[in-house]
């Protein structure tokens, strides 16, 4: 049994189709004469042009299969082709070093890859795979090698590969592949995002699965747990066949709740919304019966590109979401960029260093916005303009000082005034809120509440900062503990402060999907929960199976516990009931 990263939920049982691009791409430095340099530059330009055409064909496939929004995933590769790394650095080095193009492409890209591998954030580590994939394509054309394609696959195939490019993932759908597993990749990779959209069970980040399987091996993919079983015995196959039946049955049963409200047995209603990162997820939001969007992470508009998104582009993006979700509301989190979440080209555009010693404690999120208010103002203008077509709300993240809130409110008012002067309509009563996700803000929730219309608890970062644990660091990831007594008591303190100020409060972290914490949050008096769209039916079912009075008792019991063992015992009883 191999453990990896669950990239797309579901279970698949089938036969391995090993997809390896191991053709000989060996390259060596070769000196060029002055006459040969000109021809080498031409060969390089032609190779890049050929790769561009190949990518554009893939983009067209994605466009036809998924629509415009998903086709932007392919744009990341096109943007790299237009990066100075290839348009300037490679030709310059071919000329100055008088060496062959394939060798220079390798050397120049290798330097960038080594730099990105030192960045802690998984998003940037995954981008090295994009550069590696493009390097391979370019070198293949320079060496005159043919590409292998995922076509004419046998039925019941599970693809196993070192990595899959977005175009390969599109082919998986067309070939009716039932699952896939890769050596590399993460939850934010383009391949994972496409797999989720195609609802293909997938596990990534398995490190060396390509070395542990052969064509025709039986494989079980458990995309729910991130587990892969190679050549299972009959008993294991039987167990997973039952799990698959149960998974599909539960999924079907949960769909029956789509049109029902998230209401406890004694009539307390909870606003159950969904988290999204891209507009194409709206279809899932509606399919699973979420009551609006409780968290729209907008920073993905700023990544995988060489420029900043324009006001027009953002306006059209927010407008589409607002219209499709209406009459429900959409909470738009302002960009959470900085340090570990800033695409290198934009960093270069603004002259920002990507080498902060601790980016999680550096120039990120609201601090970044206050340092570069012109970027924030463009986003605020787009949100305000779109607000006349739906129910939009603005959520400011990572606030740690009341002065930051005063500053950002001033910027918002300046933006509103500029629209008034231009006679551009917007919702004058648009609500603003703060994402409570650092201990400093949690401890002054009562002061923050006086300045805003609503509050939301961002449990992911709140846990990380409170416990001083980087959950992306495998050496301390086991210490990232939502059930730590300090976390539970801090959350209760935040909710009580919001209630005393008569302010609406919700929460939007991964913690909410756990039955124990679903009940606990309701018992503490939370007004709204926001979870991934696919989790909405599960959380709704749990809410509809207990009373508010029961939840209050659990919340009191769990927040009064003085040690982890007691909390675990309480959690075990709840999980047994709602598993």
Q: What residues act catalytically?
A: 190, 508
Residue 284 token pair: 């899932």
Q: Are 428 and 367 in contact (CB under 8 A)?
A: no
Rg (CA), the chain: 25
DSSP state of 188: T
3-state secondary structure of 147: coil
CA–CA separation, 189 and 355 (whole Å): 22
CA–CA separation, 4 and 456 (whole Å): 31
Q: Are 331 and 293 in contact (CB under 8 A)?
A: yes
Beta strands in 66-201 (DSSP E): 157-161, 179-182
- What is the H or E stretch that residue 129 is in? helix 122-143
Mention every residue, 6+ apart, whose C-beta is less than 8 A from residue 256.
none
Q: Are 158 and 15 in contact (CB under 8 A)?
A: yes
Comparing CA positions, the residue from 260, 255, 332, 258 lying closest to residue 293 is 332
Mention every residue, 6+ apart, whose C-beta is less than 8 A from residue 224.
6, 9, 10, 11, 247
Count Cα atoms within 13 angstroms, Cβ side, for 497.
Answer: 21
CA–CA separation, 308 and 363 (whole Å): 18
Residue 534 token pair: 């696919």
DSSP state of 203: E
Residue 33 CA, distance from chain mean position: 49
Torsion sign (Cα): 527, 530, 536, 541: negative
Comparing CA positions, the residue from 15, 16, 14, 21 lying closest to residue 149 is 21
Residue 202 token pair: 């997938």
């Amino acid at each position: 049994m191999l453990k990896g990263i669950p990239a797309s939920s579901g279970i698949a049982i089938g036969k391995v189709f090993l997809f390896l691009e191991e053709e000989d791409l060996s390259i060596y430095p070769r000196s060029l004469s002055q006459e040969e340099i000109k021809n080498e530059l031409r060969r390089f330009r032609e190779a890049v042009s050929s790769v561009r055409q190949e990518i554009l064909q893939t983009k067209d496939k994605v466009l036809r299969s998924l629509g415009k929004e998903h086709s932007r995933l392919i744009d990341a590769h096109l943007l790299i082709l237009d990066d100075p790394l290839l348009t300037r650095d490679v030709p310059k080095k071919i000329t100055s070093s008088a060496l062959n193009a394939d060798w220079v492409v390798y050397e120049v890209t290798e330097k960038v890859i080594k730099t990105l591998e030192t960045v802690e954030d998984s998003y940037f580590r995954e981008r090295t795979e994009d550069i590696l994939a493009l390097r391979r394509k370019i070198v293949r054309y320079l060496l005159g090698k043919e590409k292998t394609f995922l076509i004419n696959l046998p039925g019941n195939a599970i693809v196993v590969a070192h990595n899959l490019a977005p175009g390969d993932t599109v082919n998986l759908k067309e070939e009716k592949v039932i699952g896939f597993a890769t050596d590399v990749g993460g939850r934010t990779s383009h391949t994972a995002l496409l797999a989720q959209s195609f609802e293909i069970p997938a596990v990534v980040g398995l490190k060396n699965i390509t070395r542990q399987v052969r064509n025709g091996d039986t494989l079980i993919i458990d995309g729910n747990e991130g587990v892969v079983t190679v050549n299972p015995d009959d008993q294991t196959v039987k167990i997973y066949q039952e799990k698959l039946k149960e998974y599909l049955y539960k999924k079907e049963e949960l769909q029956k709740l789509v049109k029902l409200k998230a209401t406890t047995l004694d009539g307390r209603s909870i606003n159950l919304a969904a988290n999204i990162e891209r507009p194409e997820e709206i279809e899932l939001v509606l399919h699973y019966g979420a009551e609006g969007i409780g968290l729209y992470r907008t920073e993905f508009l700023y990544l995988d590109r060489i420029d900043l998104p324009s006001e027009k582009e953002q306006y059209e993006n927010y407008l589409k979401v607002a219209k499709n979700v209406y009459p429900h509301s959409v909470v738009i989190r302002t960009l959470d960029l900085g340090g570990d979440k800033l695409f290198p080209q934009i960093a270069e555009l603004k002259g920002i260093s990507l080498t902060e010693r601790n980016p999680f404690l550096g120039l990120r999120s609201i601090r970044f916005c206050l340092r570069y208010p012109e970027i924030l103002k463009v986003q605020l203008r787009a949100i305000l303009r779109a607000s006349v077509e739906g129910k939009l709300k603005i959520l400011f993240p990572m606030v740690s000082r009341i002065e930051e809130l005063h500053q950002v409110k001033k910027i918002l008012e300046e933006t509103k005034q500029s629209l008034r002067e231009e006679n551009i309509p917007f919702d004058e009563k648009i609500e603003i809120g703060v994402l409570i996700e650092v201990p400093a803000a949690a401890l002054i929730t009562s002061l923050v509440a006086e300045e805003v219309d609503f509050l939301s608890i961002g449990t992911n970062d709140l846990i990380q900062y409170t416990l001083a644990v980087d959950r992306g660091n495998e050496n301390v990831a086991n210490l990232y503990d939502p059930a730590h007594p300090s976390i539970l008591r801090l959350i209760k303190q935040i909710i009580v402060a919001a209630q005393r100020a008569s302010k609406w409060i919700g929460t939007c972290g991964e913690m909410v999907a756990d039955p124990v914490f679903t009940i606990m949050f309701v018992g503490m008096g939370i007004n709204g929960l926001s979870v991934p769209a696919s989790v909405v039916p599960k959380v709704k079912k749990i809410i509809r199976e207990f009373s508010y009075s029961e939840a209050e008792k659990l919340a009191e019991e769990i927040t009064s516990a003085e040690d982890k063992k007691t909390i675990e015992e309480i959690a075990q009883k709840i999980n047994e009931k709602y598993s």
